[in-house]
Structure 1
Amino acid sequence: MKPKTLITTASLWLILSNCTPSTPPQSSDLGNTPSPIADARQRPSDSPTLWSDGFAQTNWREAWNIRSYGSWGLDEVEVIADPSGKFSRIMRVRYPEGSASPSVSRSQGVALGGTQFYADLGLPPRDALHLSYYVRFSDDFDFVKGGKLPGLFGGKSVSGGNIPDGTDGFSTRFMWRRQGDGEVYAYLPTSENYGTSIGRGAWQFQPGTWYHVEQEVVLNQPDQKDGQIRVWIDGKKVLDRDGLQFRTTDKLKIEGIFFSTFFGGGDPSWSTPKDVYADFAQFSVSPVQTE
C-alpha cells in the first residue's frame, strides 16, 4: 500500500504563494480618463431674464440698442418667419459664395459676408452675465476652416488682432471650426496675435439642426486670474474653464452682445465655397447666480 500524501496548511500556502497568475493585473487608465466637468454652478434655468428678443418687433435694432460704431453687413441680415416652425420669427444671416472676414475682404478684394454689430441692450455694464440663443446652419453649410458666432464683450479692443491690455476690452465669441467643432474664441490680455481658443471640440455643430447655445462669463477680480467661462449646448454643460484674466481694472465690465458672424480667418482659404446662411433665434441675457 502506497503511503498517503499529507498536505499541511503551511505547505499549501507555500505552493500557492509561488504560483504565477495566468494573466497580469490590468493597469489603471485614470490618466487617460476625461475628468468630469465640474457642476459647482448649474445652468441657471430659474434666473430672471434681464433682456430678451425673439425678433417680433418691426424694428428689432431698437430692442438691441445697437451702438453707432463697428457695424457692417446689416444688408446680409433678414428677419423672417421660421421655416422650421420651431420659432415664430428668426434672424437669417447670409454668407455669399467666396465671402470671408473683413480683413480678407479688404486685403484680397473678396466678398464680405455675415454681419457684425455691438449691442448694449439698454442694460448697465455688469461683472457677470449669462447669454442664451439658438443657432441653425443651413442644410448645405460647409464649415470649411471656421467662422465666428455671437458672444459677449466689454470695451473696444475685442477683435481683428487688437489684443486688449486689461483695461480696454475683451470678447468671448463662439466659433465653429472644421467639421463643425465648437469653441469659445476669446480676446483676452493673455492672448497672443489673435484670439485664444478655449475648449475646441468640446461640442460639435451639424448643418440643419437647431442648437441652444448658452455662455456664462464671470469677470476676474482685477488683481487675480479667477475669471470663468461656462458653456451649455442644448442644456448640457460642455465647457467649464476657470483661472482666466479678462481685465486689470474693475472699470472694465461686460457691456453686451458682440454679434459677430462670418467665415474666417485671415486669408481666402477660409472663404465659403457657396452661398449659405445661418439662422438665429430667441436671444436673452440673465444674471449669474454667484456663490
Structure 2
Amino acid sequence: MNKRWVALAILLLLVVFVWQPWSSKSSPDAEIETFDSASFSSQGQAIVDHSFTHLAPDEGVENSTALRVDYEGYERGSRRVVVSPRITPALEYELSFWVRFCEGFDFVRGGKLHGLGPAKPVAGGNAITPEGWSARLMFRRDGGLQTYVYHQGMAGRYGDTQIAQDFVFVPGQYHYVEMQVALNEPSSESNGRVSVTVDGRHVIDHTGLRFRAEATEASQIQRLLFSTFHGGSSPQWAPRNEDGSYKTDCAYFDTIALTPSL
C-alpha cells in the first residue's frame, strides 16, 4: 500500500512539472500597468521616466493614479513622447488603455497615439523592410480616431489608415481603447488584421494585411509603441493659445494592458 501511495505521489509530481510549463506557454500572462503601485513593470517604468510624463494621483479611472502626458507645443507640433519598451514576442496581441484628454485640449490637425511593433518598427515615412512594420492609432483634428498602419502592401509612403465612424474623444471624459493586432502567418500570406474597439463598440477593422515578408522572431510583435504627440512636422500642427503662442496641452492614461497570444 505504501508503495502505491509513493508511486501515486511521483506520478502527481510528474504531471505538475510537465504540465505547468506547457500551461504557461499556451496561456501567457498579460502585462498590466495601473500606475498605482510603488514599483512598475519594465514597460511602465520606461514610460514614467520620460521627461514629459508625470504620475497624477486621483486623476485615473475611479480616482486611481494615472499617467499625465504634457503636449508642449513647438514648431513641429508638440514635443515627442515616444517610448518603445520590449514586450514578450508573439504573433498576436491586444493593447488596451484608458485615455482622458484634458478640458480644452486642442486637437489641431491631429497626432499620434499608441500601438504595437516588431523589433525594428517602420514609421515616419521610412521605407518598409521585410521584418519591419507598425500599427498605431491617431487622434484627428476634430477629436476623431483613426488607425495608422505600415505594412508590406501599403498604398503610400505614410502608411494606411481607417477612420472610426461616429466617434470623437470628449475632453474631460475617459474612453477605453482596445486594439488587437494579428500578424500574417505564414509570411507569404496577406491574412494579418487590426481591430479597434472604443468604449465597447467596434469601430475599425483592417483585414488582408501582410505586415512582414519574413517569418523571424524579429518580425513578431515585441514592442509597445507608447507614442503620442501633435504632428506632423510643421507649426501648423502645434497647439496654441488664443494669442497664437504655443501652449501645453495634456492627457491622462490609465491601466495599460498588453495581452499576447502565443
What is the TM-score normalised by the length of structure 2? Answer: 0.78
The corresponding residue for 2:54 is 78
- Preserved CA contact (<8 Å) 2:118 2:222: yes
Highest relative contact order (Cα 8 Å, sep 6+), 1 or 2?
2
- Deviation of the 1:213 alpha carbon: 0.2
Report the aligned-residue RMSD: 2.5
Structure 1 CA distance for aligned equivalents of residues 86 and 181 of structure 2: 16
The corresponding residue for 1:244 is 209
Any gaps of 5 or more consecutive residues in structure 2? 1-26, 241-246
Find out whether 1:171 has 2:140 as its counterpart.
no
Rate the CA distance shift 1:65–1:79 in 2: closer, same or farther, 3 A. closer
Q: In the TM superposition, what whole-angstrom CA distance separates every residue of 1:103-147 from its partner, at most 9, and x where no partner exists? A: xxxxxxxxx5241111124x2x00011111001101010111010
Structure 2 CA distance for aligned equivalents of residues 253 and 58 of structure 1: 31
The corresponding residue for 1:188 is 151
Rate the CA distance shift 1:239–1:63 in 2: closer, same or farther, 3 A. closer
SS in 1 for 2:161: strand
Structure 2 CA distance for aligned equivalents of residues 84 and 56 of structure 1: 9
- Preserved CA contact (<8 Å) 2:117 2:225: yes
Structure 2 CA distance for aligned equivalents of residues 241 and 156 of structure 1: 22
- Deviation of the 1:284 alpha carbon: 0.7
The corresponding residue for 1:55 is 35
Find out whether 1:215 has 2:146 as its counterpart.
no
Structure 2 CA distance for aligned equivalents of residues 275 and 65 of structure 1: 23
- Preserved CA contact (<8 Å) 2:97 2:254: yes
As a proportion of its length, which structure holds more helix? 2
Rate the CA distance shift 1:62–1:238 in 2: closer, same or farther, 3 A. same
Rate the CA distance shift 1:202–1:248 in 2: closer, same or farther, 3 A. farther
Letter in 2 for 1:77: T
- Preserved CA contact (<8 Å) 2:60 2:253: no
Rate the CA distance shift 1:233–1:200 in 2: closer, same or farther, 3 A. closer
The corresponding residue for 2:102 is 138
- Deviation of the 1:234 alpha carbon: 0.8
- Deviation of the 1:94 alpha carbon: 0.2
Structure 1 CA distance for aligned equivalents of residues 194 and 70 of structure 2: 29
The corresponding residue for 1:151 is 115
The corresponding residue for 2:167 is 203
Find out whether 1:282 has 2:236 as its counterpart.
no
The corresponding residue for 1:116 is 82
Find out whether 1:230 has 2:203 as its counterpart.
no
Total equivalences in the alignment? 226
Q: In the TM superposition, what whole-angstrom CA distance separates every residue of 1:221-278 from its partner, at most 9, and x where no partner exists? A: 2111111111110111111221111001111100031000010013221111122101
What is the TM-score normalised by the length of structure 1? Answer: 0.71
Match of 1:261 among 217, 224, 228: 228
Any gaps of 5 or more consecutive residues in structure 1? 1-46, 102-111
Q: State the structure with more CA Rg.
A: 1
- Deviation of the 1:60 alpha carbon: 3.3
- Preserved CA contact (<8 Å) 2:175 2:199: yes
As a proportion of its length, which structure holds more strand? 2
Letter in 2 for 1:203: F
- Deviation of the 1:201 alpha carbon: 4.2
- Deviation of the 1:157 alpha carbon: 3.7
SS in 2 for 1:156: coil
